[in-house]
Structure 1
Amino acid sequence: MKPKSKYVLLSIVMLVLGYLISFSYQLTNEKKPGSMSAEQWDKEYESRQLLIEQEEKNLKLQAALQKKQKNVQDYEKKLKKDKQAASGLVEQIENLRMYVGETGVKGEGVQITLEDSSYIPADENANNYIVHESHIFKVINELLISGASAVSINGQRISADSYIFCNGPVVNVDGNQFPAPFVISAIGDPDVMISAFTISGGISEQLVYDNIVVKSEKKSEITMNSILQGDRKS
């Protein structure tokens, strides 16, 4: 082969090799992950903007939701307070109705029995040896001071408007007459009421001094109907 032909052939080989290298390099660049066209960049930018806008909307919605949740919690707290207040009012009303005798009541308490003296000296006035309304008043007042929530005399419920007076050998309570013995029942703390009633120098001793037979005892359960029912049951 002539030297000139050798150089021509070598040039052709080098040209083909250069083209192959150039094509391979361009193809490699096109396949790189970071290599994108302008259209792809626009689409990606648009997607990113939509994502950012959606995230901002989500943040606003989350803030609005938190505000509404707080409003609901505040309303629940207010409702709870109102419910407690209403419950307290209902309880107060029920207690007041119980105190005035409009509702029946049951509970532990005490029972005080007053009897006329069984012995009356011949030269003494019989009125000095029987139970009078003043004696009954003393017992009732002492029981109420000691915390009694309800009181009855021989089963007749006592209210703030009740009246008690003697009528010969009997005692009249709100128009109902009762002979001795007089059983005064009171619902409340039995220990407190008995202690107050039997304290030294107290009502019990005063009644004995007035020649009244006195008996006091605790009761595990006393039942009283309302004044409106008019059922005398103790």
Structure 2
Amino acid sequence: MKGKKKGKYVVFSLVFLVFGFIIAFSYSQSSKEDPISHKITDRQYVMQNNLRKQIIVAQDKNRKLQKDLFKKQESVRKYEKDLSNEEEMFSGLAEDAEKYRMFLGKMKVKGSGVEISLEDGEYNQSEDANNYIVHEHHVFKVVNELYIAGASAISINGQRLNHNSYIYCNGPVITVDGNPYPAPFKIVAIGDVNTLISALNITGGVRDQIVNDNIIFSIEKKKQIILEPVLGESSS
């Protein structure tokens, strides 16, 4: 029995010895291969180091360029905002200039509006004719009320009014800026039709006052009115 056990131990010892030798040999082989397979040359190291430095430099440049880009974008936004404000300002000035030209009678205007007619009333021979004749103050009342109601342009018998127009009676005619016109007097105004009519027809207003002076007053809506520039004035 003892001889058999001793034989088994010898066999196991040999097996373990061989197994350990195989493991040790494999390990030594792998340790020999690794340094060879992973080892880099000095030239590769220098190249990698140079590339790393170049990447770092490029990243720094990119960051600086991005900062410059953000600054320039901010400047562009500021310029755009300033330009937008200037455009709004110039647009407003252009609109104001158009309004001034229109009020000064220096440009043709067209639009909807109203036409008011003032005619002498009928009278008997025994009464004073002046009590039935259209006078300049009747025309003044209509014109002033139209302007107050927002009329943008007005003409009398085709004569366009401007900022320094004058009206006065000269016998049976009314003179507008030196040009005589007989009755009936056609006063044409461009503006909001409903507003102009309401202003003239208000109770106790211009229409009632003129009718009470024995003057024939009529008003008509106009879809399209065209008023030429003031005669003798530049249209530019």
2:81 to 73, 77, 80: 77
Q: Describe the SS at the equivalent of 1:113.
A: strand
Question: Structure 2 CA distance, aligned partners of 1:154 and 1:228?
Answer: 13
Aligned to 1:203: 206
Aligned to 1:136: 139
Question: Structure 2 CA distance, aligned partners of 1:122 and 1:20?
Answer: 147
Are 2:45 and 1:44 aligned? Answer: no
Aligned to 1:161: 164
Question: Structure 2 CA distance, aligned partners of 1:110 and 1:21?
Answer: 112
Question: Structure 2 CA distance, aligned partners of 1:53 and 1:94?
Answer: 60
1:90-105 superposed matches below 5 A: 90-105=94-109
Question: Structure 1 CA distance, aligned partners of 2:174 and 2:150?
Answer: 25
Q: Describe the SS at the equivalent of 2:96.
A: helix
Question: Structure 1 CA distance, aligned partners of 2:26 and 2:149?
Answer: 116
Aligned to 1:87: 91
1:1-234 superposed matches below 5 A: 25-32=31-38, 35-117=39-121, 119-228=122-231
Runs of 4+ in 1 over 2 A off after TM superposition: 18-29, 35-43
AA matched with 1:29: P
Deviation of the 1:25 alpha carbon: 4.2
Question: Structure 2 CA distance, aligned partners of 1:125 and 1:194?
Answer: 31
Aligned residues: 210
In structure 1, the gaps of 5 or more residues are 1-17
Describe the superposition over 1:140-165 as per-residue Cα deviations: whole angstroms up to 9, x where unpaired: 00000000011100010011211111
Question: Structure 1 CA distance, aligned partners of 2:134 and 2:26?
Answer: 136
Deviation of the 1:29 alpha carbon: 2.3
AA matched with 1:51: I
Deviation of the 1:38 alpha carbon: 4.4
Deviation of the 1:39 alpha carbon: 4.3
Question: Structure 2 CA distance, aligned partners of 1:19 and 1:120?
Answer: 145
CA RMSD of aligned residues (A): 2.0
In structure 2, the gaps of 5 or more residues are 1-23
* TM-score (norm: length of structure 1): 0.84
Q: Describe the SS at the equivalent of 2:164.
A: coil
1:102–1:228 CA contact under 8 A, matched in 2: no
Identity of aligned residues (%): 48
